[in-house]
Chains A and B, each alone.
Chain A
Amino acid sequence: MTKMSGAKVLLESLEQQNVDVIFGILGGAILPVYDALCGNEKIRHILARHEQGAAHAAEGFARASGRVGVCMATSGPGATNLVTGIANAYMDSSPMIALTGQVPSSGVNSSYMIGRDAFQEADIIGITTPITKHNYQPRTIAEIQPMVNAAFYIASTGRPGPVLIDLPKNVQSDTAEVEMGITDKIEARGYKPVLEPDLSKISEAANLLANVEYPIILAGGGVIISNASDELMQMSDLLMAPVATTFMGKGAFSEAHPLSLGSIGMHGNPAANRLMGEADVLLAVGTRFSDRATANLDTFAPNAKKIHIDIDAAEIGKNIEVDVPIVGDAKASLRQLHAATAKKLPKMKTSAWSKRVKEAKEQLSPLLKDRPKELVPKSLLLELRKLLTADAIVTTEVGQNQMWSALYFQALKPRTFISSGGLGTMGFGFPAAIGAKVACPDRPVVDIAGDGSFLMTENELACSVTEKIPVIVIVLNNSVLGMVAQWQRTLYKRRYMAVNLGKSPDMVKLAEAYGAQGLRANSIEEFHKAVKTALNSEVTTVIDVPIGSETDVVPFVPPGCGLPQQRGDY
């Protein structure tokens, strides 16, 4: 037993969980933890400029590395500013711990206490209940370590997600005799993630797969989370099945592979959307069949028997009826399914289906269509792919920049394409890039941005410059909120409302004001040169790329329509 403050217990518990970086902003109610951090050599604290940035950075860190990302904020507004980042991590199933200060739960000044509307008090437990996997508020020092252990276990296992720990100030500052236990005891008896699939279901799925002609695989974010890309590749090889991904699954299967179809969805690759309708069996892994992926469900893979693997039992049957449900970890399930199917399947010859896949890609894939000579999103993204190594990490903002990236930028490896899928949070990409760079300092990290999104979290330039975390931001600058402008153009008869951003600010000068490098590119040659300069820079670089303000992301499945009703000349 040692006499320790709650803050010290917290930090030691975090160290036991191998935490070496926290993204955060301090404030009154979290001061004892910051005081304990002073002089701590194991944990690096990265000072964000807004708590939303800290939360997104923690998620970028988590998604690039597969480790749990940690963010921290004070009570009240600090905590509520984390909310968007927490909701984002919840929707995209990213492992994250959010630590928040809270006003005291007891003490000498009774008006400065939980429940009395004290200064900077917000009910962050109540607020985050629907957007966290779980949340905790320790009331004694003895509870801190078991809660931290359980929080990391819950955040990182099963279907990962954010867990918040709200720390009343007196619990941080008081001292008590504590025994820092060993970390493997988890006090969460109501939490038992299922990893291994039911073998009878595996066998049922194998029978189905062994007797079909037109199999297609749909890989979601779960494949990346479970590190199951190798198993996915083996499954595809065995079945000679083309692989489409959801937007969140981008990178789970190399998009340079002959059997890759790119992403399905509202702005999906037409080859993927088309073949989804021709398949006779769909093997879906680690996806929740989001509305943006499936479009109208009546016309989604209408001819296919559906096998659905997911670690979250509640996802099975939630959005789509399936023929064979398999609850389990993607990696374990794919491995079992591969073994079971291999026994039943005759060695595959080149089938009519493989020919059809090749033909559909040649006819429909946007990557194989014309390559414009001028600097437009498509040519820029094709050029960027050539300039970056396969392991370079790309994040995106939300809107047109994101959908162009999905269509034209090939992700070659898992965890190299990080974007806000479920929540669609503008401003995510830049802080996420900072977090990814902290996780992978030796790899280039590029945020593909739009001017609208970038301005939402551009203040983190101060963080990236001061903390020496060099990333590259490519601003596709069309001076409008492009995606909503596109909707107003195509669905609201060009009645533009509140989408025009004008030419302010000057992105180059903005970057320079923060001490970052600002460059502008007006041609492919200039872009090429700017990226080369940025890759060799020790400071964050913003590359401003003026583009037309009326460029659409096409093709497009209008709201309410099905994948086969994709339209637009591309």
Chain B
Amino acid sequence: MEAGKTKVISVLVENKPGVLHGVSNLFRRRNFNIESITVGPSETSDVARMTITVNGDEKTLEQVVKQLAKLIDVLKVEELEQGHFVMRELALIKVNVETPKERSDIINCVEVFRGRIIDVSMDSLTVEITGTPDKLDAFLNLMKTNGVIELARTGITALARGAKTVRIDE
């Protein structure tokens, strides 16, 4: 990573149309860089959780948090504290397979990385793998020699560890 560190922000938003547009628009307008953004339902029915990873210095991050907090449909914004949260990303990877040896090498590799083969064809395997972005990067690196036909990564989703939470307190 260049320029600063990657930070993970957990954002609770109103679960209604247009909110994602408002958030992504803010990043574009304020010249902030999003590395990844994931959105889905949260523990509260009408609230969605966004997990946003941004790359930048402390000052930029402070602005990201403050500007997000100003959006009316944003209910809560918090940076997840380094080392005090868990994060996962999922990747689906379709790998080129030419020989039986390649096939068994890939299957071994998938086992080591605790992934799963979810689709098989004559000349390809599709692998599901979950973990931190670093783990996914490492696996992808190994697959490069075989040739990655298609790749889909979800981006990071994360929660604070243990008693620490980012929740709406009514």
Contact = CB atoms under 8 A, between A and B. Distances in A.
Contact of B72 (A125, A190, A313): A190
A133 B75 CA distance: 15
Given A313-B66, A317-B62, A318-B63, A133 B21 contact: no
Nearest to A126: B21
A190 B25 contact: no
Nearest to B168: A189
A314 interface: yes
A225 B8 CA distance: 36
Contacts of B29: 130
Given A129-B25, A313-B66, A154 B72 contact: yes
B34 to A, nearest CB: 16
A190 B74 CA distance: 6
A191 interface: yes
A317 B67 contact: no
A313 B77 CA distance: 14
A125 B22 CA distance: 10
A322 to B, nearest CB: 12
Interface string A184-227: 00001111000000000000000000000000000000000000
Contacts of B26: 130
Interface string B54-95: 000001001100110111111100000000000000000000
A378 B87 CA distance: 64
A314 B66 contact: yes
B14 interface: yes
Contact of B21 (A129, A312, A314): A129
Most buried by A among B21, B22, B67, B70: B70
B31 to A, nearest CB: 12
A314 B75 contact: no
B21 A317 contact: no
Given A126-B21, A129-B21, A190 B62 contact: no
B162 interface: no
A189 B26 CA distance: 20
Contacts of A125: 18
B59 A317 contact: yes
Contacts of B73: 134, 190
Interface in A87-102: none
B90 to A, nearest CB: 29
Interface in A115-149: 125-126, 129-130, 133-134
Given A125-B18, A126-B21, A129-B25, A190 B63 contact: no
Nearest to A161: B70
A190 B21 contact: no
A130 B70 CA distance: 12
Contacts of A314: 63, 66-67, 69-70
Contacts of B69: 313-314
A190 B18 contact: no
Contacts of B13: 190
Contact of B75 (A129, A134, A189): A189
Interface in B1-50: 13-14, 18, 21-22, 25-26, 29
A193 to B, nearest CB: 10
B27 to A, nearest CB: 11
Nearest to B67: A314
A134 B62 contact: no
Contacts of B66: 313-314
A130 B75 contact: no
A238 to B, nearest CB: 31
Given A130-B25, A130-B29, A190 B14 contact: yes
Contact of A191 (B21, B62, B72): B72
Nearest to A193: B70
Nearest to B65: A314
A48 to B, nearest CB: 28
29 contacts: A125-B18, A126-B21, A129-B21, A129-B22, A129-B25, A130-B25, A130-B26, A130-B29, A133-B72, A134-B72, A134-B73, A154-B72, A189-B75, A190-B13, A190-B14, A190-B72, A190-B74, A190-B75, A191-B72, A313-B69, A314-B63, A314-B66, A314-B67, A314-B69, A314-B70, A317-B59, A317-B62, A317-B63, A318-B63
Interface of A: 125-126, 129-130, 133-134, 154, 188-191, 312-314, 317-318
